[in-house]
Amino acid sequence: MEHEEVKVRRGPRSGLPVVVAIHSRALGPAAGGIRLRRYPDWRDGLADALRLSEAMTAKNAAAGLDFGGGKSVIAVEPGVELTPSLREAALLDVGELIESFGGTYFGGPDVGTGPDDMVVVRRSTSRVFCLPPEHGGTGSSSIPTALGVFAAVRAGARHVFGSPDLAGRTVVISGLGSVGALVARHVASAGARVVVSDVDSSKRDSGYEWVDPEKALRTPADIVVPAAVGGVLSPELVPELAAPLVVGPANNQLTADAVADELAARGIVWVPDFIASAGGAVYTLLREVEGLDEAAANARVEAIGATVSAVLDGARDNGTTPLREARRLVEARLASQRAFES
């Protein structure tokens, strides 16, 4: 087991399975969002928490943050109606579980939760970020997350096409949620032709070109942006990808690490998701913990582009993959901390 600590509890108020997984606190207290979603089985929620907390360790380390990786999951079981009262009870339950870590783990919004939910969680613990501004927080992290993804897209374009200019490029965005919609706005403003997809067909009216979700990642394009669920890049999909650059905010995009080698073998450049999606964590932690102002925090978010360039250039120069170079960056950061402590 690679994780430092994992707690699983059936919420005393909600009766729903609640999980908090701490992958690493080597660099500081663990930080990671609170996910609330339906799972076929609560063990699927546990598996999600384990994967996502490991990804948060990599995300925070690669971004130069003094935080480790953790994740919370509230698993809504099949057949359970998530009423407003049950939702409130579950949020209080997860807050209580977070509080039990004694300040070594901090939560925030994730899939299925938002800033208003953090107000409820705070009734059980103060270890929570991204409350609405009127409650003393920085609000939704979607804006800085999208800004970081846009910086990553431009850096990827520079590497693949020789210029960060997106004018005339075709960009397919799979998932038009809070982050995907903002990324679409950024790349459209930069002159790109934008094609979008989402499981919610009502978003056809977004004003962009539309493609059905099952065809999105197979649509010919210059750049594909996975912005919905993880586990979308598989050995079966790789031969059907029709874009030379893949970069987006969806977590855990690869079904297995070996897919990174398959992408590279086809000449497809993939920017590791834990690099591209770090903007929300960077902005929130720098604002709410280190006290940076908005401009300084946004500058650090935009520096994700420089990290992407270093990873992609390193992969090219060393004959490796972007995943291996990104992991090397993470391990170097963790190793430097271990050396400091010894």
Q: What is the pLDDT along the chain (342 residues), one digit of tens a residue?
A: 789 999 999 999 999 999 999 999 999 999 999 999 999 999 999 999 999 999 999 999 999 999 999 999 999 999 999 999 999 999 999 999 999 999 999 999 998 999 999 999 999 999 999 999 999 999 999 999 999 999 999 999 999 999 999 999 999 999 999 999 999 999 999 999 999 999 999 999 999 999 999 999 999 999 999 999 888 999 999 999 999 999 999 989 999 999 999 999 999 999 999 999 999 999 999 999 999 999 999 999 999 999 999 999 999 999 999 999 999 999 999 987 765 454
215 has catalytic annotation: no
Alpha helices in the chain (DSSP H): 42-62, 84-99, 115-121, 142-161, 178-189, 213-216, 258-265, 273-276, 279-288, 294-302, 304-318, 322-341
Q: Are strands 209-210 and 105-106 parallel, antiparallel or unpaired?
A: unpaired
**Looking at this protein, which amino acid is placed at residue 159?**
H
Rounded to an integer, what distance in angstroms lies between the CA atom of residue 25 and that of residue 68? 4
Catalytic residue (choose from 7, 59, 71, 203): 71
Among 280, 282, 259, 256, smallest CA distance to 270 is for 259
Q: Quick one: tokens of 63?
A: 């971004």
Q: What contacts 71, CB < 8 A, 6 or more positions away?
A: 20, 21, 23, 32, 33, 35, 48, 49, 52, 53, 56, 110
